[in-house]
Amino acid sequence: MIDFSLRADHPSNTKTDVVAVAVHEGQKLSWAAQDIDKASKGALAAAVKAASFAGRAGAVLPLFNLTGVSAARVVVYGAGSGNALSAKDARATGRALAACAVELEQAELTVFPLAEGAVDAMQQMVLGVSDATYRFDETKGTSTKPKPALKRVRFGMPEAAAKAAPAALKNAVAMTHGIEFTKYLGNLPANHCTPTRLGDEAKKLAKSHGLKVTVMDRKAIEKLGMGSFLSVTNGSEEPPRFIVFEYSGGKKGDAPTVFVGKGVTFDTGGISLKPAGDMDHMKWDMSGAGTVFGVMKAVAELKPKQNIVGLVVACENMPSGKATKPGDVFKSMSGQTIEVLNTDAEGRLILCDALTYAERFKPKAVIDIATLTGACVVALGSHNAGLFASNDKLADDILAAGKKMNDRFWRMPLEEDYQEALNSNFADMANVAGREGGAITAACFLWRFTKKYDWAHLDIAGVAYKGSGKEKGATGRPVAALVDYVMANEK
């Protein structure tokens, strides 16, 4: 895990393995680059010109043997044409600088952000460094590669940003810890990351971070009357778990924010069996639960003066002689009955009981996070998660956090007109409607269980993981946005 901190040296006087300074398009030097150029008697500007460095955001140029500079190496990074880096470009720059330091086999990197937007850029660079250096090695054998050499990243902030920098850095570092934990849980294979394992991880997290946690087994879940949740577990040999985290940073009796995560540790589709292709992706169907773990970890480190609850519904969805069959009817914790027309629409069946359970906390807001529908992936692809909300301010606050942290959402409609498609002749509702508006009707199903509080639903099916290529794995989204949402409520 990278050690992040601040330092107050001038760029040219910074004793470090690698010092990174910005150059804009047109080879215009930033304040930090000017300092190094002056100390090196024009060598930096000359090297940038000789290399025809365009200054494109995300590009890096290592320079060697600059005299008059305390750092062992200087790396120039592109700052684009504007006065400040966008969140996206700052994240990409963090990734590129970390990769460059690793390639150079250097242990310490010191970065000097642009004067304008320095604090926001620093936060994004921290997340970018984390992205670039994260490794999942737990299930590798003798082929495990050595870990990156980069151990420390320092930030030299312009004077105007010095006051706000410590709190912003603390927030960003806690986000990386949460994101990396979410990635870790998501990348575990389903034979390792079972509902029982999630319960055990919850207890470990609670012990190490001062959280209260309750892990309920099947008997306790039955006692709660969570018939909808349990219907999904019928075909699996793995016992389910219902996990309740509680962080009490606010006053006793203050209404908490409740996060609810879908934790299907493997989803075959049940009797409505999925196609074989890419079914390995279904180990990431617990990404909503992983997000709750990551958010709770970050919250416990940041200690906001709020009350936060995390609910995780964890199970497998498997076919067997005991599995739920299409057409079966079950009673949810709310007392409403559900006709299960498609057993592969299981996420809403487990979430609805957790959303009912959330009522007991008298919450100020409930946000559920789930890899809920392929329809959302079709609608939005892999760049924006779907956002549905019963309250405009809640939606706006989540959208703002997503924009700030480059962890974006797109608000989708939540309207009564869509509810008719969920009507059933044999129960209070069906668990699926037709193909049209599938992400919307899934959200409308959940909406029926949230009438007693303000609620938002995040469909993260398109953003929670990358399913192919060298970056295949969990992304840790949307931990950063949700942590920022929590901390924004401190103001």
The CB density around residue 175, as the number of other CB atoms within 10 Å, is 30
The separation between CA 336 and the C-alpha centre of its own chain, rounded to angstroms, equals: 32
H helices then E strands: how many in the chain?
A: 14, 19
Query: In 188-239, which residue ranges form alpha helices assigned H by DSSP?
Result: 195-209, 218-224, 227-233
- Catalytic (active site) residue 348: yes
Tell which residue, 169, 149, 139, 156, has the closest CA to residue 4: 169
Q: Exactly one of 348, 404, 448, 477 is catalytic; name it.
A: 348
Q: Exactly one of 218, 274, 331, 403 is catalytic; name it.
A: 274
Answer for the pair 171, 122: CB distance below 8 angstroms, yes or no.
no
Q: What is the CA radius of gyration of the chain?
A: 24
- Strands 307-317 and 429-430, bridge-based pairing: unpaired
Three-state DSSP class for 450?
coil
CA dihedral 188, 466, 413, 229 (to 10 degrees): -20
Report d(CA 174, CA 233) in Å as an integer. Answer: 34
Q: Helix, strand, coil shares of the chain as percentages rounded to 5?
A: 40, 20, 40
Tokens 């996206």: give the residue: 88
| Backbone torsion region of residue 489, taken as left when φ is above 0, otherwise alpha when ψ lies between -120 and 50, otherwise beta | alpha
Q: Which helix (H) or strand (E) holds 317?
A: strand 307-317
Tell which residue, 294, 316, 296, has the closest CA to residue 307: 296
- Catalytic (active site) residue 91: no
Sort 484 into a burial class: Cβ within 10 Å, 0-12 / 13-18 / 19+. Answer: buried
Report d(CA 180, CA 130) in Å as an integer. Answer: 8
Report d(CA 87, CA 172) in Å as an integer. Answer: 13
Residues annotated as catalytic (active site), given as ranges: 274, 348
